[in-house]
Structure 1
Amino acid sequence: MYWQICPFEQLTREQLYRLLALRCQIFVVEQDCAYQDLDGLDILPDVLHVMAWERGELRAAGRILGPGVQTAEHVWIGRLVVVPAARGQGLARVLMQQAIEAATTHWPGYPLRLSGQVYIRDFYRSLGFVPVSDEYLEDGILHQDMELVCSE
């Protein structure tokens, strides 16, 4: 497994195509959620893309929004996807660990948040995230904002 963490301008055309195709496959088709994935944030300078490649195939991906992109005081992890064939093998956990490490390395000292789908809230809790908002409906799916609590 090869992990790639980079800004938009470092993606090749093929990598970008595969990334957007995977997000469409999961969010639009699998989750039956018609929404605007191309939201203008992917291309911003303070955004990183985290991708797992295996034998030239994209297996998992996520997006990190630096401070000032979504909120001034937080770094946000989102657009987390794992291909169906790779689920149940711990890849989502490694994806989150890679994203957390990249976020805290690039933007140290900023609280790390995510908008998690409620049905996998326990997964995020197992990584140290705690709920910081009420549940809310986003694109027809219950979500809840969560923040990483660092134990020191």
Structure 2
Amino acid sequence: MRLLTAAFDELPTRTAYDVWRLRQQVFVVEQDCPYPDLDGRDLEPATRHVVLLDDDGDEEVIGTLRVLDDGDRARIGRVVVAPSARGRGLAALMMEEAMGLCGEREVRLDAQTGLTAFYEGYGFEVAGPEFDEDGIMHVPMTRPRRP
């Protein structure tokens, strides 16, 4: 496995294509959740894409997430692992990288409800009521600013 952390313009073309294909495969097709994935935030200069590559040969994208700059706080989103790679702790590798990118700033994310315990392991706390986002229940979570 190899982690690649890059701004949009630094992503190799094929890797960028595979990132968006994986997000579509999981969020739109598998979870039956049509939503506007290409929201413009991937292109922002401060956005960092964390991409997990299987470095056996073709460098297949098997996981990805993005870290957004929301001013005085960071936001983690679009966390996804390919179905064939699940259950191996790979999301944790990406989250460790993401938390390092966020530093001491406050960090927010909207977790699918069943994943709150996973994010609590990174210091996140539920920060509001559960809500329906595109047919999937989520909960807002925050990791407070670190002194």
What TM-score, normalized to structure 2? 0.92
Deviation at residue 103 of structure 1 after TM alignment: 2.0
Q: Structure 2 matches for 1:1-152, cutoff 5 A?
A: 1-54=1-54, 55=56, 56-68=59-71, 73-104=72-103, 109-149=104-144
Secondary structure in 1 matching 2:25: helix
Deviation at residue 6 of structure 1 after TM alignment: 0.7
Q: How many pairs were matched up? A: 144
Unpaired segments ≥5 residues, structure 1 = none
Separation (CA, whole Å) in 1 of partners of 2:93 and 2:109: 16
Separation (CA, whole Å) in 2 of partners of 1:151 and 1:43: 28
Separation (CA, whole Å) in 2 of partners of 1:5 and 1:13: 14
Percent identity between matched residues is 38
Separation (CA, whole Å) in 2 of partners of 1:42 and 1:17: 12
Deviation at residue 149 of structure 1 after TM alignment: 4.5
Separation (CA, whole Å) in 2 of partners of 1:76 and 1:151: 15
Aligned partners of 2:112 and 2:138 also within 8 Å: yes
Secondary structure in 2 matching 1:124: helix
Q: Deviations over 1:95-149 (max 9, x none)?
A: 1111111222xxxx42011111111111111222111111111111111111124
**Residue identity matched to 2:89:** G
What TM-score, normalized to structure 1? 0.89
Separation (CA, whole Å) in 2 of partners of 1:148 and 1:27: 24
Aligned partners of 1:131 and 1:147 also within 8 Å: yes
Aligned partners of 2:125 and 2:142 also within 8 Å: yes
Separation (CA, whole Å) in 1 of partners of 2:106 and 2:145: 9
Secondary structure in 2 matching 1:77: strand
